[in-house]
Structure 1
Amino acid sequence: MSMDICDDRASDASCTALSADEMAAYGWVLDHRRTDPARAAADLGLTRGQVDAAFAKLTALRLVVPDAEAGPEAPARVRAVDPDAVLGGLTESLRESIQQRQSQLQRVQEDFDRLRERFLRGRGETSPAGLEVIPSLEEVRAALNRASAECRTELMTSQPGGNRVPAAMEEALARDTALLNRGIRIRTLYHHTARFNGPSQAYVAAASALGAEYRTAHELFGRIIVFDRELAFIPDHMGTWGAVAVREPSVVAYLCEIFEQAWTHATVFSEAGQDGLERVAKELDHTIVRLLAAGLKDEAIARRLGMSLRTARRHIADIMETLGAESRFQAGVLAARAGMTDEVDAPAGATGP
């Protein structure tokens, strides 16, 4: 076997991969049984240089060889070789390389399985009972992936914030699809503002079709992920991307109860243009007025409602303009007179788990 055109890089698949020009040149040789670069270039619509390079590649790969029947007096006579006769020899080194890589991968996997077992055992010995601090985003993702793989019955999440990154939504959809296909029940709480986010709408539509359930609320208690009512993940208090894994049964049960209360009073997710838009807008306005009356700053209101600061300020400005208020205090007084500080009626169809 000869791989001289690859400069001894036999494991590089690009050495033997054929371009469209080379495929066309092979067909031309098959039809004409000779090498005539000038005519081949004219027939194929290629330049002479492209044809010369294609013939050289085909010859080096032994896909085109001299026609032994023509004899030495007709050196231009060649024939196209059956690709199956060439393929085995050309790919032998690639197969060997793949097998070596697979063996290496298996050894690495086995080593890291042992490391994982030791890591989890050691972390359990040093962490407070039922609590585990996970300091980095990469380790949080690894822990969530393990928990997802081990999940048996149910996943509950509360995801504050209105904007979603498309790439993150695609990753989440792939993960949730695997869970749903295993019969896992998935329930997720979002802020109302998620209804106006395109990636969120697409994600919820796709996952809902597979059986996942989504509701939104004007305010949420915070971010939480609970697996099988046995393992909960909550953010760390430093505001970083770290997390705390909670396994203590009483604490997990308490977090689940908080989720259930929020779920009961939340509204079934629908696109902004569907039923519920008027209610969502009314709840947002009522909540903003109530938070303004409580003295919260724009930044705090935006954070509580899961919207950008710019959006929150636009809502505040619209409310004050509608009320004809010149100050926040006046807006609170006028809103109370207009009944905007009264509680919004419980959403229909959201009274059960």
Structure 2
Amino acid sequence: MLEMFGVPATTEAVYRVMLDKPTADLDELAAHVGLSAEAARAELTVLAELMLVNAGPGGGPYFAIPPEQALEVLLAAEEARISECQRRVGRAREDLGELVEAFVASRSLRDSGGFVEQIDDPAVVTSRLFQLARSGTRKVSFMLPGDAVPPEAIGPSARLDNELLSRGIPLRAIVSDTSLESRHWRDHLTGQAGRGVQVRSHPAPPQRLVIVDETVAIVSRAQAPGALVMMDPDLVAPITALFDAVWHASAPVLAERSPAEGDEFSDARVRQVVALLAQGQKDEAIARRLQISVRTVRRLVSASLTALHAESRFEAGVIAVRRGWVS
């Protein structure tokens, strides 16, 4: 039991014998635990250092403190250890920020006004993105065109997402429709959607970019590796407008639910279908997007028309826009 607090098994065994046999002398104690008298004396010293035993009156033989008091002593020590670890982690985070800043600053170019930063090395872009995204306080938005993120690259991205979510920072992500054909990527995105990330997919997102608090934008370069980091409000504003326009033209990627929860005809699924109808998507395209059969799509379309009291697919799309399901 006490091993979880770092108390060795032999030390705990000595403590337990002292609880069971409070009048046992050193030789009896050693015999019960299977130790030499010298080893038992050493264990008593360890217990005294842990404050699990006290010396008797006048410096007499040790006696065990009651278990509930022992637990409080150990808990207090563990809480102090955790508090110290948290303090060290906090200091390490501060030091890490300084290290990242030095690393990036020595490997990037800035204009004289400090409004645009050019980074040629993709590894440095990753460090800069990590630094800027972690500094977000209001909202962080990602646009990821092209293929799915490889499985080995998902871990660091997920850790950053989860850290931001833990601080209550809203996250939005736009991915390409084709990327969802990769099962590992789709599973990851639906899992993140379940944790609170707002995820949408688009047929052709035009630009790889990240926007932090609508004050900083990281945009991939078109003709060279690396990225541009823009801090001028006049540059960030049109990039934010581009993201918003693509966001409104994208379809939500919802957290998956099991069939037992009635996901096939849930309100969320109906809204998803209607959003795609509003974009003019055909049944076959919707089936590919949602990874369901065309027959199921048609049943969902019928259910959507009924739910919206619409006479046609077009009317369902119009109603969906009015209700704010899709912009």
Give the alignment's TM-score, normalised by structure 1: 0.51
1:59 aligns with 2:44: yes
CA 1:69–1:138 in structure 2 vs 1: closer, same or farther (change >3 Å)?
same
What is the aligned partner in structure 1 of residue 219 from structure 2?
234
Secondary structure of the corresponding residue to residue 7 of structure 2: coil
Amino acid corresponding to residue 188 of structure 2 in structure 1: P
Alignment of 1:186 with 2:174, yes or no, is: no
Partner residue in 1 for 2:209? 224
**Residue aligning to 1:319:** none
Structure with larger Rg? 1
Question: Which residue of the partner structure matches residue 259 of structure 1?
Answer: 243
In the alignment, what sits opposite 1:143? 128
* Cα 1:81–1:280 shift into 2, 3 Å: farther
**Alpha-carbon deviation of 1:201?**
1.3
Counterpart of 2:160 in structure 1 is: 172
Distance in 2 of aligned mates of 1:246 and 1:266? 25
- The residue matched to 2:241 in structure 1 has which SS? helix
- 1:79 maps to a residue whose letter is Y
- Residue identity matched to 1:263: W
Q: Deviations over 1:212-235 (max 9, x none)?
A: 432112322232111233311022
1:151-205 superposed Cα distances (whole Å, 9 cap, x missing partner): 45433221234356452354133233145x2xx5432212234484222211111
> Shift in Å at residue 129 of structure 1?
6.0
2:156 matches 1:154: no
Structure-1 residue corresponding to 2:227: 243
Q: Which residue of 2 aligns with 1:306?
A: none
Residue 215 in 1 paired to residue 200 in 2? yes
Structure 1: distance between partners of 2:218 and 2:232: 12
Q: Which residue of 2 aligns with 1:40?
A: 32
Letter matched to residue 189 of structure 2:
S
Equivalent residue pairs, number: 250
Q: Which runs of 5 or more structure 1 residues have no equivalent in the other structure?
A: 1-13, 42-47, 72-77, 288-343
Question: What SS does the aligned partner of 2:205 have?
Answer: coil
1:270 is aligned to 2:254: yes
**What is the distance in 2 between the residues matched to 1:25 and 1:110?**
44
Tell me how far apart the structure 1 counterparts of residues 174 and 100 of structure 2 sit (CA, whole Å): 36
Contact 2:140 2:213 in 1 (8 A): yes
Greater relative CO (CA pairs within 8 A, separation 6+): 1
2:12 corresponds to: 23
Q: For the Cα contact (< 8 Å) 2:209–2:220, is it kept in 1?
A: yes
- Contact 1:265–1:347 (CA<8 Å) still a contact in 2? no
Q: Which amino acid aligns with 1:176?
A: L
> Taking structure 1 as reference, are residues 26 and 112 closer, same or farther at Cα in structure 2, changes over 3 Å only?
same
Q: Distance in 2 between matches of 1:79 and 1:254?
A: 76
TM-superposed CA distance for 1:283, in Å, is 3.2
Distance 1:40 1:346, change over 3 A: farther
**Cα separation, 2, equivalents of 1:136 and 1:346:** 50
8 Å CA contact retained: 2:118, 2:228: yes
Deviation at 1:247, TM superposition (A): 2.5
Asked if 1 retains the 8 angstrom alpha-carbon contact of 2:14 and 2:29, the reply is: no
1:198 aligned residue (176, 187, 210): 187
Consecutive unaligned residues of structure 2, counting only runs of 5 or more, are 257-262, 290-312
How far apart, CA to CA, are the structure 2 residues paired with 1:109 and 1:70? Answer: 48
Asked if 2 retains the 8 angstrom alpha-carbon contact of 1:194 and 1:201, the reply is: no
2: distance between equivalents of 1:347 and 1:202? 29
Q: Cα deviations across residues 80-103 of structure 1 (Å, max 9, x unaligned)?
A: 35488xx89xx9xx99xx79x96x
- Evaluate the alpha carbon distance shift between residue 56 and residue 156 of structure 1 in structure 2; reply closer, same or farther with a 3 A threshold: same
8 Å contact from structure 1 (residues 224, 234) kept in 2: yes
Partners of 1:52 and 1:170 lie apart in 2 by: 55
Distance change in 2, residues 1:284/1:30 (3 Å) = same
Is the alpha carbon distance of 1:125 and 1:158 closer, same or farther for their aligned partners in structure 2, counting shifts above 3 Å? Answer: closer
State the Cα distance separating 1:114 from its structure 2 match: 11
1:132 shift after superposition: 0.4
Q: Could you say what secondary structure the match of 1:244 adopts? A: strand
Cα pair distance change 1:60/1:244, threshold 3 Å = same
CA displacement at 1:18 relative to structure 2 = 1.5
Q: Describe the shift of the 1:65–1:270 C-alpha distance in structure 2 as closer, same or farther (beyond 3 A).
A: closer
Verify the 8 A CA contact 1:131 1:247 in the aligned structure 2.
yes
Which residue of the partner structure matches residue 284 of structure 2? 282
Shift of 1:267: 0.7
Compared with structure 1, are the counterparts of its residues 65 and 251 closer, same or farther at alpha carbon in structure 2 (3 Å cutoff)? closer
| Residues in 1 aligned to 2:219 and 2:228: alpha-carbon distance in whole angstroms | 5
